[in-house]
Structure 1
Amino acid sequence: MAFDFSWLLWGLPIAFVLGWLASRYDLRQWRAERQQNPKAYFRGLDLLLSEQQDQAIDAFIEAVQNDPETSELHFALGNLFRRRGDYERAVRVHEHLLQRGDLGQKDLQRAQHALAQDFLKAGLLDRAEAALRKLEDSPYATEALLALLSIYERSRDWEHAAETAVRLETIGCGSFELRQAHYRCEQADLLRKQGSTVEALAMLEALVQRSPKSARAWISLADLRQSLGDTQGALQALHQLAAQVPQHLPLVAHSLAQWSKLGPQGQDTEQLLRDWREQHSPSLDVTQALALLQPDGAQARALYIEHLQREPSLVAAAFWLAGEHFGQPEEEKRVKQALERACEPLKRYRCAACGFEARQYFWQCPGCQSWDSYPPIRVEEL
């Protein structure tokens, strides 16, 4: 049977017309989607700038649904979820990005970094640690190591914290010598609580040789020696602290005075404190320690007068008044109680980074977690 070529004459034009119509339809649909997607995106951006995060999230979800392959919208949506505190949805968004096979290496690393931030904000430190370790050979390596260091400090994993600090020094992030000294002091304190005082003592003695500018190392060594009955060794450690980091002497002035009274070192300590007072700004702790070494109350009160001559101080005035008697006993008691109450806030220490105040001195601020952010002087002396 012969083939009828007339069908080709009719079929080809019809197929061409149908193809052209289909392409026009697809083109109009693509244009409509492209127009709809930017509208949702810009609406979400406007709502975000207006601090309407819930409505902005809805707009970005609409934009993602219209164009599920757009990675930037996914990143924006995941970050919004995190800022809003919806960490579970943020994790799902970023895990979806990591599972996509069309993303380049740069976007995959960016998604991994965002996922680690989700876990950190959610307080899932073990999952955050695992996510951060995958960024060690990426452009986010420095940020990842710093975040890992924070995790190890929060979990009190001092050994891993020390290793991470060494790696940060290696890649040129500055010196972590004093922070590593804190880690060793924490480890020594743990050994001491466990009864391993010999190991703790050896660790601290090695530490002061390696990091002589660590005030905490000298103080920890002095406390441990004193607890073992080695008062002479404890005083030697505090004298070394005065030579290496004299600005921290006020922190141990009271201990110096008390321990010196147990042996023949009283005169040496008093001379050390007087020399320090001549070379530095007035310190209430140093003045109080010197007063403790005086043989009678009159000489002690004279030291507070000398302090007041150099610098007005309500606390020093209260210490001086504590040894004086005036008026009726009941009136005197009320006046001294009022002064003591007014002086309490002035005796605190204040973090230079966040302003957190505390009665005791902290090597790491409980508020902002900064190390060595507390000046070794009282609030009144700032």
Structure 2
Amino acid sequence: MEFDLWWLLVLPLMFALGWLASRVDLRQVGKERALRRDAPQAYYRGLNHLLNEQQDKAIDAFIEAMTADPDTVDLHFALGNLFRRRGEYERAVRVHQNLLSRADLPREARERAQLALAQDFFKAGLLDRAETAYEDLRRSAYASQALTSLLQISERTQDWHKAIARAAELELRATGTYQRQIAQYWCELAAQHQAAGREAEAQQALDAALQASPQGVRPRMLRAQWAQQRGDLALALQSLESIDLVQPEFLALAAVQIAQLRQQLGQVQEGLAWLRQRLEQTPAIDLLDAVLLLDPDPASRARCAQGYLQSHRSLLALKRVLEHPAPGAVVPEVATAMQGAVDNALRSRQRYRCAACGFEARQYFWHCPGCQGWETYPPRRLEELSLLGS
């Protein structure tokens, strides 16, 4: 009997404990369900704030959503990208490092988080850490994107050997042609060697640049510059005039230097005939300047300038006519006043403009300071380009 009475006391107690446990579980489940209901609401609020360009409110909403559902990977990416866009790189790094610390993160999400972390470092200017992060992605689905960023890092750090290797690898991956960039990298490397007094290495680098891009103009101009510094005027002239064989439109960049070399070599008439022929074939104000520099006859210079103005009605051509008037044609004081007026009008037009980003500069750049593009400047100033466009 005592045994039976004991069971009669235990059974109700067990029932009561089970009921209490179920109530606790139900409350916990209810709280979790409420949090999960709140998470998407906060997420949608964040998206709405983003659409309304309210980044502060969007960040608050995403943080609330992450608190409610910390396992949601997309919320981490959204929040990290927002921090990066706002320039809060340290917070972006923490978000993406928190993702990478999770052992249960799928491979695809892990690679995506690694890419986001590398972008954080790159934007923050921590190029060494960005390079390490991008290197870890070279065998991932983001390999091409990582290599492109690594190439940009090589350019910023002026590590031209790495830039050449990475551009060649990108070309092997069929992501485009990089021969023009590779040629420019070799030119930059050649300039480094020349500045350090390593002339043999500099010439080898120029050979490599021409091998990468046989129609390259910059290697020819560099070779001419250094040959002229050594006193080898014939080689300098040959290098510059060879531009006409590969890219005649770029001959304008070297025209005045060609005229000066012809003068120094005592080849005025030969040079004048050669330049006049190129001026007819590829008209450019710099070629006109070269012809005017070599022509010893004032009347002939005036006729040349006037003829160019008739066929190319630009302020630059008018300026040359005023600078080389026919004898007795214009009163000197009037000509000076007219030149001043033309100079004022040309002040904003004697610039080169990048075809990629529109960055303007008074001198010609092979590497655009604005968009970091290579060979994006046409070899014509704005005044001439507007004339060609019309």
What's the TM-score once normalised by structure 2's chain length? 0.92
Name the structure 1 match of 2:317: 316
State the alpha-carbon separation in 1 of the partners of residues 119 and 43 from structure 2: 24
| Shift, 1:163, TM fit | 0.9
| Shift, 1:22, TM fit | 3.2
Structure 1 letter corresponding to 2:225: D
Name the structure 2 match of 1:346: 349
Name the structure 2 match of 1:365: 368
* Alpha-carbon spacing, 1:203–1:310, altered in 2? closer, same or farther (3 Å): same
Name the structure 2 match of 1:67: 69
| Shift, 1:23, TM fit | 3.6
| Structure 1: 5+ residue stretches without partners | none
| Shift, 1:296, TM fit | 1.4
CA contact (8 A) 1:165 1:176 kept: yes
| Shift, 1:67, TM fit | 1.7
1:375 pairs with one of 374, 378, 382: 378
1:198 paired to 2:200: yes
| Shift, 1:11, TM fit | 4.3
| Shift, 1:72, TM fit | 1.3
CA contact (8 A) 1:201 1:224 kept: no
Name the structure 1 match of 2:144: 142
CA contact (8 A) 1:129 1:151 kept: yes
| Shift, 1:255, TM fit | 0.7
Name the structure 2 match of 1:128: 130
Deviations 1:253-296 (CA, angstroms, capped at 9, x unpaired): 1111110111244444334323323333x210111111112121
Structure 1 letter corresponding to 2:356: A
CA contact (8 A) 2:322 2:335 kept: no
Structure 1 letter corresponding to 2:313: P
Query: What percentage of residue pairs aligned between the two structures are identical?
Result: 45
State the alpha-carbon separation in 2 of the partners of residues 146 and 135 from structure 1: 12
| Shift, 1:232, TM fit | 0.6
State the secondary structure of the residue aligned to 1:347.
coil
| Shift, 1:327, TM fit | 6.9
- Farther-moved stretch of structure 1 (257-266 vs 351-360): 257-266
CA contact (8 A) 2:83 2:91 kept: yes
State the alpha-carbon separation in 2 of the partners of residues 334 and 162 from structure 1: 53
Name the structure 2 match of 1:295: 296
| Shift, 1:229, TM fit | 0.8
CA contact (8 A) 2:182 2:212 kept: no
CA contact (8 A) 2:275 2:287 kept: yes
* Alpha-carbon spacing, 1:62–1:210, altered in 2? closer, same or farther (3 Å): closer
Structure 2 letter corresponding to 1:33: L
CA contact (8 A) 1:132 1:148 kept: yes
Name the structure 2 match of 1:285: 286
* Alpha-carbon spacing, 1:40–1:211, altered in 2? closer, same or farther (3 Å): closer
State the secondary structure of the residue aligned to 1:126.
helix
| Shift, 1:195, TM fit | 1.8
CA contact (8 A) 1:326 1:332 kept: no
Name the structure 2 match of 1:237: 239
Structure 2 letter corresponding to 1:122: A
State the alpha-carbon separation in 2 of the partners of residues 198 and 148 from structure 1: 29
Name the structure 1 match of 2:99: 97
State the alpha-carbon separation in 2 of the partners of residues 195 and 92 from structure 1: 46
Deviations 1:29-84 (CA, angstroms, capped at 9, x unpaired): 22211222222222222112111111111111111112222221111111111111
CA contact (8 A) 1:148 1:164 kept: yes
Computed over aligned residues only, the root mean square deviation of the Cα atoms, in angstroms, reads 2.0
Structure 2 letter corresponding to 1:30: E
| Shift, 1:180, TM fit | 0.9
Equivalent residues in 2 for 1:240-251 (5 A)? 240-251=242-253
Name the structure 2 match of 1:39: 41
Structure 1 letter corresponding to 2:279: R
State the alpha-carbon separation in 2 of the partners of residues 328 and 304 from structure 1: 18
- Farther-moved stretch of structure 1 (317-326 vs 82-91): 317-326
State the secondary structure of the residue aligned to 2:348.
helix
Name the structure 1 match of 2:337: 334
State the alpha-carbon separation in 1 of the partners of residues 71 and 346 from structure 2: 64
- Farther-moved stretch of structure 1 (208-217 vs 347-356): 208-217
Deviations 1:341-369 (CA, angstroms, capped at 9, x unpaired): 32233221111111111111000111111
| Shift, 1:197, TM fit | 2.2
Structure 2 letter corresponding to 1:49: L
State the alpha-carbon separation in 1 of the partners of residues 338 and 280 from structure 2: 32
Name the structure 1 match of 2:388: none
Equivalent residues in 2 for 1:101-250 (5 A)? 101-250=103-252
- Farther-moved stretch of structure 1 (183-192 vs 321-330): 321-330
| Shift, 1:315, TM fit | 1.2
* Alpha-carbon spacing, 1:234–1:153, altered in 2? closer, same or farther (3 Å): same
Equivalent residues in 2 for 1:10-25 (5 A)? 10-11=12-13, 13-25=15-27
State the alpha-carbon separation in 1 of the partners of residues 269 and 176 from structure 2: 42
CA contact (8 A) 1:315 1:346 kept: no
| Shift, 1:18, TM fit | 3.3
| Structure 2: 5+ residue stretches without partners | 386-390
| Shift, 1:160, TM fit | 0.9
- Farther-moved stretch of structure 1 (139-148 vs 62-71): 62-71
* Alpha-carbon spacing, 1:317–1:102, altered in 2? closer, same or farther (3 Å): same
State the secondary structure of the residue aligned to 1:352.
coil
| Shift, 1:175, TM fit | 1.6
Paired positions, count? 381
